[in-house]
A = this chain, B = another copy of it.
Amino acid sequence: MSLKYFFEPKGIAIVGASREKEKPGRVIFEILLENRRRGLLKADLYPVNPRAQEILGVKCYKSIQEISGEVDLAIIVVPARIVPHIIEDAGVKGVKGVIIISAGFSEIGNKELEEEVKARAKKYGIRILGPNCIGVLSPWSGIDTIFLPFYKELSSGKKVVNLPRPKPGYVALLSQSGAVGTAAIDYMSGEGIGLSAFVSYGNKADIDEPELLDYFLKDPKTRVILMYVESIDDGRRFLDIASKVTLRKPIIALKAGRTKAGSKAAASHTAAVTGVDEVYSAAFRKAGIVRANDIEELFDFAKVLVMQPPSRGNRVGIITDGGGAGVMATDMAEIMGLNVPELVGETRDRLEELREKGFFPEFSIMENPVDLTGSVTSEMFIKATKILLESDEVDIVVVLALHQVPGIPDPPDLARKIGSLAYSYTKPIIAVDTGWSEAAILEREEFDKNMVPSYPIPERAIKAAWALHSYGKYLRDRGVYEKYIQHFIKFRKEWRKRACGKEM
């Protein structure tokens, strides 16, 4: 894979490594050094700074050429005007790729300087990520060029986590904007979603979205690709490659600048002309890209698409122990164009029979939503879930397991058992538990660990169901649904092997 040295480099020169605390060149070098000490990063590290003998105990080089070991990647954190000179230096050394963190190029009208950098890199066959970007992060390989430190020391002296890095996982994140990228990384860490790799590509002087999509199509760690996009330059090329990717891996795009006012704001911020929103929507749909409307949806969709197979249809079966939660879920399903069909056939019979036998509460309602009422027990939830997973009348199962009732003595245990059950089916399942109590958080965490994506309100779960339906329909229309499911089953098996998704 052509861009592999960006994500799994063997030797890294940090040009502009600094002894001054909080300088980007210092933060990046320190993080990489720490990752290497922890055994995570395998690459050799070479700080480059003509005015330093050593940084953090590591020998410092005056130039890249001075380094004797192999260097396939250079991270450049020096003032913009010096960058062409550094490229020259890297070229002579035989560096394959450079990440130009430095700003001060086309984004502020300095197009000539950017052209000069491009020309010199081309001469040596060097590939460029950036400039004006925050680069690359992969929790698998330990590469991390994000110059924002892990910790901040407050004026009280208290040290607090500033920007946690997500755990290793299967979701790739591409962001034109560095700020949105770091905000998204901070957000995803808290949502328990693992990362295969993050890339911020800034001015995209060389490497752009289509090439990155192609890389992640082939990257075995990446199962789902997220994109934050403000503008796309070469629409045709982008859609060509995106259409290829979505046959095998879902792409979820958050396209900002949707409205006239928003695109005006986008234009002044990245100096890129934002296209008309409807055009993007239609093009995304045609290429099988799932569109998210905000950061919350972006990660909600990522979670469901990495953990569950896309659905065979739009019929949602809902199980709940709180009637009102069922009503809210049904409302949202209808709004999203999903169907909450009446249960009429065998499914209804199986449920009714168990109610008559006294297994389900006397006043439970065996329609859709299946309302097991506040008298529910964990066993009832599991049984009803099994019946809906086996039903021909629904394509997606949504379990609203509000933990507060007395009949669920061990909420995370219920989540574990439903996860274990769902693993034997290729019908997707999504869970909800409302609230922020310890029990709610533990129940949701346990669902997630068992590959049943969970959400704190019914509406987010239903939107996730829509994402499964939308992508499933695309795959079926393209005739690759069954093939995708086969891949998914393999992936799920590997996940389970790794101790129930500890890495996710």
Please report A residues at the B interface, Cβ cutoff 8 Å: 22, 107-108, 148-149, 152-155, 160-164, 175-180, 182-187, 189-191, 228, 230, 256-266, 268-270, 293-296, 321-328, 330-335, 340, 363, 365, 367-369, 371, 374, 402-406, 409-413, 434-440, 442, 456-459
Contact = CB atoms under 8 A, between A and B. Distances in A.
A172 to B, nearest CB: 18
A138 to B, nearest CB: 19
A313 to B, nearest CB: 16
B437 A180 contact: no
Nearest to A24: B406
A366 B325 CA distance: 45
11 contacts: A149-B406, A152-B410, A175-B324, A180-B328, A187-B435, A187-B456, A189-B435, A261-B334, A265-B327, A269-B371, A294-B328
B269 A365 contact: yes
A395 to B, nearest CB: 16
Most chain B beta-carbon neighbours within 10 Å: one of A107, A333, A410: A410
Contacts of A162: 403-404, 437-439
B152 A439 contact: yes
A276 to B, nearest CB: 14
Of the candidates A293, A294, A335, the one having the most CB atoms from chain B within 10 angstroms of its own CB is: A294
B256 A437 contact: no
Contacts of A22: 406
A164 B293 CA distance: 32
Given A294-B457, A324-B180, A335 B258 contact: yes
Nearest to A406: B22
Contacts of A265: 323, 326-327, 330, 340, 367-369
A187 B182 CA distance: 27
Contacts of A259: 330-331, 334-335
Contacts of A191: 436
Nearest to A277: B331
Given A160-B439, A177-B322, A323-B177, A334 B402 contact: no
A199 to B, nearest CB: 15
B154 A412 contact: yes
Given A258-B335, A457-B295, A436 B187 contact: yes
Given A187-B456, A331-B256, A324 B228 contact: yes
Given A189-B437, A334-B259, A179 B324 contact: yes
A323 B264 CA distance: 12
A328 B340 CA distance: 32
Contacts of A325: 179-180, 183
Contact of A256 (B180, B228, B328): B328
B340 A261 contact: yes
A380 to B, nearest CB: 15
A366 to B, nearest CB: 10
A177 B268 contact: no
Nearest to A176: B324
Contacts of A184: 434
Contacts of A459: 293-296
A269 B435 contact: no
A434 B331 contact: no
A22 B437 CA distance: 19
Contacts of A178: 374
Contact of A148 (B153, B230, B406): B406
A265 B371 CA distance: 9
Nearest to A152: B439
B324 A256 contact: yes
A374 B161 CA distance: 19
B410 A330 contact: no
A437 to B, nearest CB: 5
Contacts of A155: 409-410, 413
A76 to B, nearest CB: 17
Contacts of A332: 294
B435 A179 contact: no
A296 to B, nearest CB: 6
A161 B435 CA distance: 11
Nearest to A179: B322
Given A179-B374, A179-B404, A187-B457, 14 more contacts: A152-B411, A155-B409, A161-B437, A161-B438, A162-B404, A163-B435, A163-B439, A183-B324, A186-B435, A258-B335, A259-B330, A268-B365, A270-B323, A294-B459
